[in-house]
Amino acid sequence: MKRLIRILKWIWAGCHFIYYDYFGCGCCGKLWRIPFFVPSFDSCGEWWDTWGVCPKGKGCNTEG
């Protein structure tokens, strides 16, 4: 319920996004210079926002 209220407030405020030029993979540690956007209501700060996983088919050799 709290998340829904945050989303509605975000929409009411104009749907602002935070833009980052890069992100780091949490699995292999590779730094990707791929721009991406995070909705401002979902942001936890730059350090947390810039962690993710490698794009599909481009890294994290986890084919097992």
- The domain ranges of the chain are 2-52
The string of DSSP letters for 1-64 reads: -HHHHHHHHHHHHT--EEEES-EEETTT--EE---EEEEGGG---HHHHTEE-PPTTSS-----
Place of tokens 């947390």: 48
Considering the entire predicted model, what is its pTM?
Answer: 0.61
The model's confidence at residue 59, banded by pLDDT at 50, 70 and 90, is: confident
Count CA atoms within 13 Å of residue 60 on its CB side: 15
Residue 64 has pLDDT above 70, yes or no: no
Residue 30 vs residue 59, higher pLDDT: 30
Mean predicted confidence (pLDDT) in 4-13:
84
The Cα 55–Cα 28 span in angstroms is: 12
